[in-house]
Structure formats: structure tokens, C-alpha cells
A and B are shown apart, each in its own frame.
Chain A
Amino acid sequence: MALEKSTEVPKIEVVQIWNIQVATDTLIKEDGVEISRSRHRHVLTPFTTKGDAADGWTHTATDISGEDAAVQAIANAVWTNDVKADYKTWAESQDGMI
């Protein structure tokens, strides 16, 4: 009886222009037959934004080096300079929005 653990990315979706939604499945196989599958999700944005209008903003680029190759390819295609600029504008507009 051989157990094997692996991951795959069955879904990658681009929503709201810059959000990349990623579903990652973890599979357990016994002698090549799938016996378990669980899902983890995360959403990537171009930057992590900290700060406020009074003290200024810091936009830290999202590190996608650990992402699946397909996710990296999509991020590189979708996150153009214009999209990145739009994201920064949107993120800063959230300050005091409530």
C-alpha cells in the first residue's frame, strides 16, 4: 500500500480586474487511487497596502514566486502597469470609507 500526497490547481479565476482567485487541491492517493481531496483558496492582489492619507501609503508588491506556474503567468499578464496603478488608487480610496 503506497500513499502519495500531491497538490493541483484546478481553478484560477480573474475577478474585479486585479483579483486572482486560486483554488488549490491537496490529494491523497492509495496505490494510485484517489482517496481524499481537500481544497484551500486564496486571492492574490498586486500589492499589500499599508498607511493612510495623512501619513502616506506603502504598496508592497505581492510575491508570486511561490505560486503555481500558471498562476504566475496569469498574474504577469493581468497585472499590467495600468492595472497596478488602478489598484493603488482603489486601495487608497478605501481609507476612511466606512
Chain B
Amino acid sequence: MPSRARLAADFGSVYLGVTSATAANLLDDYEEGTWTGTFTATTSAPSTAVTVAGGYTKVGDFVNAWIYFASRNTTGIEGSIQITGLPFTNGATVATGNCLSRYMHSTGGSASSTYLAAGDTTLQMIYGKDTSIWLAATARVSTAGYFVANVAYKVA
């Protein structure tokens, strides 16, 4: 039975599922790690920084990053929700993911998604509405808020 994988010439990558060097089948990177996410907002940040460790897995040029803020104090926060600190810069296409908030938003509680602009490393929380634009969810002051989010994107 012929081999279904082939080492690339640099021995650092592999062509999967093929016996010839086909660019579409080249896996040239795999990485797992952590990143430090900060829960903040467009106008002002919480008076005490809200940061936790998130995780990521990168396969080829595609990364999935996730984070969970549990029982966090957002006193002082104002503006639209942002999570800064993603591990890689987004590529040329807008990316989205899922998110859930408890006590950490004041608008946009239903059907919410994360939103990552092209070339950016800051997540936003948006929600759909019957208007000409997507709307960014507004942060809420809480002494014990919860927020979980993920985003999957093609890196720059």
C-alpha cells in the first residue's frame, strides 16, 4: 500500500494524504499554547485590569483561540466590549466565533458572536439586529461577571 504522507524537502513539514508534493496538502505548522486575554472596553478599561490565560491551537495557518473569564470585577468599564491579547494577528478576512456573557454586558445579550476585524488582535462582541450595521455589545459594570468566548481565524 503506498504511503499516504510525504515529508517535505525541509523535513519540517509534511504532505498529508498524498504521495506527491501537493501544496494544498502541505501541513507546515502545528502549535499549542496560551495567551493572556484582557477584558476591556472601547471608552475605558476596568479600574483593575481583568486578565486571564486563554488557550489556542494552530494548525497550518488556522488558529482557534478561546478564553473564559469567571467571577471578574469590571468596575470602571465603559464602552463596547473588547478582549485584547489574541495570540496571532488576523488575516485579511473578518472572523467570528461564539461568546456568552453573564453580567458583563448591558446590550446585545441574545444571538451574540465574537467579531475579529481583518488585521486585528482585538475581539469584540456583536449581535445581529435589523439595522444597516452590526452592533457592538456594551460592557456592564459587574462585581462578579462571567464571559466565555472563542474565535477561529486564518492568521496573517
Report the nearest B residue to A55, measured CB to CB.
B43
CA of A55 to CA of B126, assembled, Å: 22
Chain B: interface residue total (CB-CB under 8 A): 30
Contact with A along B116-156 (1 / 0, CB 8 A): 01011100101000000111100000000000000000001
Task: Count A/B pairs, Cβ under 8 Å.
Answer: 65
Report the nearest B residue to A44, measured CB to CB.
B121
CA of A29 to CA of B117, assembled, Å: 40
* Set of chain B residues within 8 Å of A97, measured between Cβ atoms: 117
A89 CB within 8 Å of chain B: no
Contact with B along A43-60 (1 / 0, CB 8 A): 101001011100100000
A21–B43 touching, CB < 8 Å: no
B103 CB within 8 Å of chain A: no
B31–A98 touching, CB < 8 Å: no
A6 CB within 8 Å of chain B: no
A98–B33 touching, CB < 8 Å: no
B86 CB within 8 Å of chain A: yes
A81 CB within 8 Å of chain B: no
Most buried by B among A38, A50, A94, A95: A50
Q: A19-B156, A98-B124 are in contact. Are A41 and B88 (CB under 8 A)?
A: yes
Binding site for B on A (CB under 8 A): 15-16, 19, 21, 23, 38-43, 45, 48, 50-52, 55, 90, 94-98
* 4 A-B pairs with least C-beta separation: A39-B33, A41-B87, A98-B134, A15-B156
